[in-house]
Chain A
Amino acid sequence: MHNNKLRPILLVEDNPKDLELALAALQRCQLANPVEVARDGAEALDYLYGRGRWLNRVAGDPAVVLLDLKLPKIDGLEVLERVKSDPLLRQVPVVMLTSSREERDLVHSYELGVNAFVVKPVDFHAFLQAIQDLGMFWGVLNEPPPRGGRNA
């Protein structure tokens, strides 16, 4: 419950309503972690690699990437694939957060090495609960890799 508090949560979401609801949910968790928002797959990769508008960001991996599956430009599965195939990034926990209940998306995500797959519940209270659980687990409970990966 130490390092993680400082690490941001990267939320990758293109739908403004989903984004708003997700941010509202995260706010209610009262997590200390900052939340960074990327609006598409390309931005997500920019953040992770510290380039583009994140060229000068503080170094370090996020505590978790909450990744929407359907995204403009580079979609969620592609981002996942890039992260998990990069030796420098693959220890970053990625949680698919998606509307999709399609089995093949689930299967494909696990094949690519996803850390968790969460279907957004329709009920807002359930959605709140899910986001809260995610934030608590990855932001607080989960021990990151020793020396916090490359930025230790």
Chain B
Amino acid sequence: MTVPAPLSGQPVDLSDCAREPIHLPGSIQPHGALLVLRPDTLEVLQASRNAAELLGLPIWPTGATPPGAPAALGDTLRAVLGDWLLAPGAAPLHTVALGQRQFQLSGHLGPQGLLLEFEPALPGELESLDALYPHLRRFVDQLEAEADIAALAQLAACEVRRITGFHRVLVYRFDEDWHGTVIAEDGDGSLPSYLDLRFPASDIPPQARELYRRNRLRLIPDAGYLPVPVEPALSPLDGRPLDLSAAALRSVSPVHLEYMRNMGTAASMSVSILVDGRLWGLVSCHHAGPRQVGPQIRSACDFLAQILALQLAARAQGAEAAERLKLKELEAGLLARVAQAPSVQDGLLDQPDAWLALASAQGAAVLREHGVSRTGRTPDETQLQALAAWLHQQGKPAVFATHELPALYPPAQAWADSGCGVLAVSISALHPHYILWFRPELVHTVRWGGPPDKPAPGEDGRLHPRRSFSMWTEQVRGSSARWSAAQLEVVQSFRNAVVSFVLRRAEERAQLSERLEASNRELEAFSYSISHDLRAPFRHIVGYAQLLGEREAALDTRSRHYLDSIVESALAAGQLVDDLLAFSQLGRSTLSMTAVDMDKLLDEVRRSVRIDQGNRQVEWRTGPLPPAWGDAALLRQALSNLIGNALKYTRPRECAVIEITGEQRDGETVYSVRDNGVGFDMAYAGKLFGVFQRLHRAEDFEGSGIGLALARRILERHGGWISADGRLDQGAVFRFGLPATPHENSADA
């Protein structure tokens, strides 16, 4: 037996299998005959070489030698075709008698003419259609009762084998990558079991799958057949090779025949299972020897496969609907909490289980401007940041999912145990902000029906399919479980809600800052009016009280005391207003930064406090201070406040010791003011710098309690800091640091 090479004379490469034009073989299988007629005249355009002999008619196609005549078709056939041409439907068309023989006639009308296929009726076939009905009926009843897909497929396999009598019937299911797995099998043991084995996508190349979709049923009764050429090879109507896509008799690829022989099957039939127009799987029948199956039985098998497909579609839709419902409930719950939470990440972290369940993930993370929040098994923060940056850079769609991240993003190999699969939802158009779900690597074993190699060219220069069908197992790594369509959908809708939520929050923030600005303006107006209107009455009180005191020289001691108290209180209130005003102005005024001679500043401050010092004994310990960089007037105020403090709290001491030092450190200048005064309890150190915070009774030490707050505000506005260290009755030390000048930094370098 010789099988012509599909692409003889051309160089062969591994993709040839996918390029082979299998719908244009130019020949048919010998168990029937083919005629192509001109639809209007019923003139024979093309015929298989076996047509005249098989049909017992003197048919010769137009142009062939000797020339044929349309009349040769016979009146019966002409009548049948005449009726059929009025309403051309699908095969099978009819049973016709030609001479002494009965034929099953099927046909279809195409651009190249009316293709008629004749198959000799098999003994007993004529009554079998009625006989098939109870089988189909029982099959439908049983299908209804079965819940899961494997059981449905098993029923189909058994029923097809019962109807057809093949040695082995498989139900074969395609996955997303077009690998196929045998999910059900029924056999009599003549051929080996393939149950649970996987067959590579390359076993059925794309154009073959497309033919499976267009033409649901194929039969090869004898893999060792000799193809019968159709003559002439080119259609007289369009001058092109005859398209046999829809022909049941179409000759198959020699590669396929070789594949069958390697597999040990002499006959095969396959019926496509189409779910929603997509090739879901195949019912695949095999026989150790040649086996013919008539058109009626084939139709019954097709019918059966279609019922199965409908059931599968219904089950899938049911399962998907249930999954969607469950996910929608989860989503609604999650969103409700997220909407109430102060932020998206808080809302998600508040309910980690629901967050993970939304995408059936083992880990999840959210990345926003304030950092990363995680739950479950995820890569670490740095890895997450890098991943987000990559996603952002790649301009991935708003919802991006993969179950094979390491293949797309190699750094993910390092954390395959937590994130081989990622589902990423972008929640900002401008920033790499994402909600991410992770699935760990799923190392699984695939049992291949032989090594999944593509057909390879042999020594003879033509393609050969693989020869081994013995089981071969493979460890698959680098992938996680797949994300389902329902999960992607719900995550998309979740994203939309979160994004609008984030936007709303941003708007609210904008509103808030507007309100804040307005209230700042009010505050400013308030401080302005304090400046004007509150100082005046205090001045009046003091003024009139003092005038009164001068007029009434003869006031008794008690009245004099009352009058003095009025003046003192009003003065204190005036001072408080001034301090408060200075504090509020500090936030608004701009700093004029210069190099400040701190020794000179300290001298000025010491001179100004001399009055406070009075006759007290004060021992000043001051060394040369390093210069500072800042607003001289404000720094003077800060230093003055600290020294004033030191003087105040050393009052009970016979001799106050006040030490002021400074040192240049790395990037900053640090000064300290130390005293031997009453000190403070470190437990209250945090309160020391608060506005109007006092640690001592008002009658012990005067002051509004704003001096240290003012000092802190001054230093913070300089980008510096202040701290205090003290012990009750053992003195205190205040330190403050100022950032070094840029000038000094460059001088260091």
A positions within 8 Å CB-CB of B: 15, 17-18, 21, 24, 69-70, 98-103, 120-125, 127
Complex contacts, A125 vs chain B, CB 8 Å: 546
Complex contacts, B540 vs chain A, CB 8 Å: 17-18, 21
Complex contacts, B544 vs chain A, CB 8 Å: 17, 21
Q: Are B543 and A127 in contact (CB under 8 A)?
A: yes
Determine how close the nearest CB of chain B comes to the CB of A24; give it in whole angstroms: 6
Using known A-B contacts A123-B571, A127-B543, determine if residue A103 contacts B536 with beta carbons closer than 8 Å.
no
Partner of A99, one of B536, B545, B589: B536
The majority secondary structure among interface residues of chain A is loop
Q: How far is the CA of A101 from the CA of B531 in the complex (A)?
A: 6
Complex contacts, A15 vs chain B, CB 8 Å: 536
Determine how close the nearest CB of chain B comes to the CB of A118; give it in whole angstroms: 13
Interface status of B578 (Cβ within 8 A of chain A): yes
Using known A-B contacts A120-B539, A124-B539, determine if residue A102 contacts B528 with beta carbons closer than 8 Å.
yes
Query: Across the two chains, which residue of chain A brings its CB closest to B542?
Result: A124
Interface status of B351 (Cβ within 8 A of chain A): no
Q: How far is the CA of A53 from the CA of B589 in the complex (A)?
A: 43
Determine how close the nearest CB of chain B comes to the CB of A28; give it in whole angstroms: 10
Interface status of B519 (Cβ within 8 A of chain A): no
Query: Across the two chains, which residue of chain B brings its CB closest to A122?
Result: B574
Residues of B536-573 at the interface with A, using a CB-CB cut-off of 8 Å, are 536, 538-540, 542-547, 570-571
Output the residue of B539, B542, B543, B571 with the most chain A CB within 10 A.
B543
Q: How far is the CA of A124 from the CA of B570 in the complex (A)?
A: 11
Q: How far is the CA of A16 from the CA of B538 in the complex (A)?
A: 15
Q: Are A101 and B581 in contact (CB under 8 A)?
A: yes
Query: Across the two chains, which residue of chain A brings its CB closest to B574?
Result: A122
Using known A-B contacts A24-B547, A122-B574, A122-B575, determine if residue A127 contacts B539 with beta carbons closer than 8 Å.
yes
Mark contacts of B404-438 with chain A using CB atoms, 8 A cut-off: 1 yes-contact digit, 0 otherwise: 00000000000000000000000000000000000
Interface status of B532 (Cβ within 8 A of chain A): yes
Q: Are B547 and A99 in contact (CB under 8 A)?
A: no
Q: Are A103 and B532 in contact (CB under 8 A)?
A: no
Knowing that A21-B539, A123-B574, A124-B543 are A-B contacts, what are 5 other residue pairs whose CB atoms are under 8 Å apart, sorted by A's residue number?
A18-B540, A100-B531, A121-B539, A122-B570, A124-B545
Q: How far is the CA of A120 from the CA of B578 in the complex (A)?
A: 12
Q: How far is the CA of A18 from the CA of B544 in the complex (A)?
A: 10
Determine how close the nearest CB of chain A comes to the CB of B731; give it in whole angstroms: 32
Using known A-B contacts A100-B531, A101-B531, A101-B581, determine if residue A122 contacts B547 with beta carbons closer than 8 Å.
no
Interface size class of B (residues with CB under 8 A): 20 to 34
Determine how close the nearest CB of chain B comes to the CB of A67; give it in whole angstroms: 15
Complex contacts, B535 vs chain A, CB 8 Å: 99, 101, 120, 122
Q: How far is the CA of A102 from the CA of B545 in the complex (A)?
A: 27
Query: Across the two chains, which residue of chain B brings its CB closest to A101?
Result: B531
Q: How far is the CA of A121 from the CA of B571 in the complex (A)?
A: 10
Partner of A123, one of B533, B536, B542: B542
Q: Are A70 and B532 in contact (CB under 8 A)?
A: yes
Complex contacts, A122 vs chain B, CB 8 Å: 535, 538-539, 542, 570-571, 574-575, 578
Complex contacts, A124 vs chain B, CB 8 Å: 539, 542-543, 545-547
Query: Across the two chains, which residue of chain B brings its CB closest to A70?
Result: B532
Complex contacts, A17 vs chain B, CB 8 Å: 536, 540, 543-544
Partner of A21, one of B533, B543, B575, B581: B543
Q: Are A100 and B532 in contact (CB under 8 A)?
A: yes
Determine how close the nearest CB of chain A comes to the CB of B671; give it in whole angstroms: 27
Q: Are B578 and A101 in contact (CB under 8 A)?
A: yes
Complex contacts, B575 vs chain A, CB 8 Å: 122
Query: Across the two chains, which residue of chain A brings its CB closest to B549?
Result: A124
Interface status of B585 (Cβ within 8 A of chain A): yes
Q: How far is the CA of A123 from the CA of B568 in the complex (A)?
A: 10
Q: How far is the CA of A121 from the CA of B250 in the complex (A)?
A: 113
The 10 A-B pairs at the shortest CB distance, nearest first, are namely A122-B574, A124-B543, A124-B546, A21-B543, A17-B540, A99-B535, A122-B539, A99-B536, A124-B542, A99-B532
Q: Are A18 and B528 in contact (CB under 8 A)?
A: no
Determine how close the nearest CB of chain A comes to the CB of B568; give it in whole angstroms: 11
Complex contacts, B545 vs chain A, CB 8 Å: 124
Determine how close the nearest CB of chain B comes to the CB of A98; give it in whole angstroms: 8
Q: How far is the CA of A140 from the CA of B498 in the complex (A)?
A: 77
Using known A-B contacts A24-B547, A122-B571, determine if residue A102 contacts B531 with beta carbons closer than 8 Å.
yes
Q: How far is the CA of A101 from the CA of B544 in the complex (A)?
A: 22
Q: How far is the CA of A69 from the CA of B536 in the complex (A)?
A: 13
Q: Are A103 and B539 in contact (CB under 8 A)?
A: no
Q: How far is the CA of A100 from the CA of B420 in the complex (A)?
A: 69
Query: Across the two chains, which residue of chain A brings its CB closest to B573?
Result: A122
- Can you name 14 A-B residue pairings with CB atoms under 8 Å? A15-B536, A18-B536, A18-B540, A99-B536, A101-B531, A101-B581, A102-B528, A120-B536, A122-B535, A124-B542, A124-B543, A124-B545, A124-B547, A125-B546
Complex contacts, A100 vs chain B, CB 8 Å: 528, 531-532
